[in-house]
Amino acid sequence: MTRWLDEEEQRTWRAFLHASRALWDRLDRELQRDAGMPHAYYEILVRLSEAPQRMLRMSDLAEATLSSRSRLSHAVARLEEYGWVRREDCPTDRRGQLAVLTDQGFQVLAEAAHGHVEGVRTHLFDQLTPEQAAQLRQISEAMLDHLDPGRALY
Amino acid sequence: MTRWLDEEEQRTWRAFLHASRALWDRLDRELQRDAGMPHAYYEILVRLSEAPQRMLRMSDLAEATLSSRSRLSHAVARLEEYGWVRREDCPTDRRGQLAVLTDQGFQVLAEAAHGHVEGVRTHLFDQLTPEQAAQLRQISEAMLDHLDPGRALY
DNA sequence: ATAGACTTGTTGAGCTTTCAATCATCGGCG
DNA sequence: CGCCGATGATTGAAAGCTCAACAAGTCTAT
């Protein structure tokens, strides 16, 4: 027996759906326009830049970016073409591959970051009160606890 | 001069990004598995089902689903192949096309809706207190006011 | 040691989305 | 009327994602 949404829930759901999609589309488009890469690729570069030695196992990188292994393989192949990432064999597991951020990749990321962060501020934080930002964090964490329990955010 | 995010904002942003993507992926995947269609197609059917005569101009439908005209054209082409939607010439504007939900399309939608609504409830509303749901709505509306001002939600 | 199960990462095909180009029609203005 | 910029919709190619299949390496238990 389906538990339908009442009027109020319906409106909340649609508002959330549209807001998050509109924000996503906007940021993704800005990044594509200004930095020539989709947000998915940006995220890969960010995670690599924060990792020790700026390198990560493919599977860890996939997990960190909420991406399937397949998707990551394709993405890294392309980032490698651009010269932003390079692959190395993993010394401790012969199945493994390490994705390594190149100096050029780091450069590109550093330039892209300015505009993107400005976008996040303009389109998200500037629109919310500090209380709302705190609420949004709690709400998001509640969702994450359910959807992806036991995951480290950092 | 870039206004960077502080630690707190950074965490909020990542939590929101991951939560909304995880929710989206989950619902999209469930819909694909249970109803054989991506969420984008589901949304098209929903909007048509709510319209008078179950029909809408292509451009209105595109706007209602936050989709580009091009994307909608491709999507409707496919929905037409499935027999869920059919196109008609617009009687008042010879450039125009009307997308019309077929009876079969309505049937398919009705069946898909059960599982999808259950998913929205399980993965979203069941995880939030009523206060948080109200907050989420206000936050979403604030974002929408900025990203897409003057848009009717319904 | 080794068979069987699991993990890692890649590949190719098919599908959806994007982007730019195109065509037809509409509406206003001289 | 007839021109012309704006609007409605489609198209094809390129890019990205998904899914299932696969090859290669590791782990466990006997």
Kindly tell me if the per-residue pLDDT of A153 is higher than 80: no
DSSP line for A30-65 = HHHHHHSS-HHHHHHHHHHHHSGGGEEEHHHHHHHT
B14-41 pLDDT, tens digit each: 999 999 999 999 999 999 999 999 999 9
Asked if B29 CB < 7 A from strand C, the reply is no
A97 touches strand C (CB under 7 A): yes
Is A122 a domain residue?
Answer: no
Has residue A91 been placed in a domain? yes
Cα-to-chain-centroid distance, residue A41: 8
Tell whether B83 is covered by a domain: yes
pTM: 0.95
| Residue at B149 is within a domain | no
A39 within a domain of the structure (yes/no): yes
The total domain count for chain B is: 1
Residue B82 forms part of a structural domain:
yes
The span from the CA of A94 to the CA of B90, in Å, is 62
Q: So what's the ipTM on this one? A: 0.94
CATH number of the domain enclosing A42: 1.10.10.10
- Dihedral (Cα; B65, B78, A68, B123), 10-degree rounding: 40
What's the pLDDT score for residue B153? 59
- Which structural domain range is residue B91 located in? 26-113
pLDDT at A1: 84
Average pLDDT over residues B96-105: 98
Query: What pLDDT, in 10s, does the model give residues A31-69?
Result: 999 999 999 999 999 999 999 999 999 999 999 999 999
Per-residue pLDDT at A17 exceeds 80: yes
Q: Which of B18, B139, B145 sits opposite A66 (nearest CB)?
A: B18
- The nucleotide minimizing the C1' distance to residue B71's CA is C17
Model confidence at A80, pLDDT cuts 50, 70, 90, reads very high
Report helix angle A7-35 to B130-147, nearest 10: 40
Q: Is residue A153 part of a domain?
A: no
Q: Is the CB of B115 under 7 A from strand D?
A: no
Q: Which nucleotide is nearest to B97 (CA to C1')?
A: D9
Select the residue from A11, A16, A50 to test the B interface by mutation, using most B Cβ atoms within 10 A: A16
Least confident segment among A17-21, A44-48, B1-5: B1-5
Model confidence at B1, pLDDT cuts 50, 70, 90, reads confident
Classify residue A121: in a domain, yes or no: no
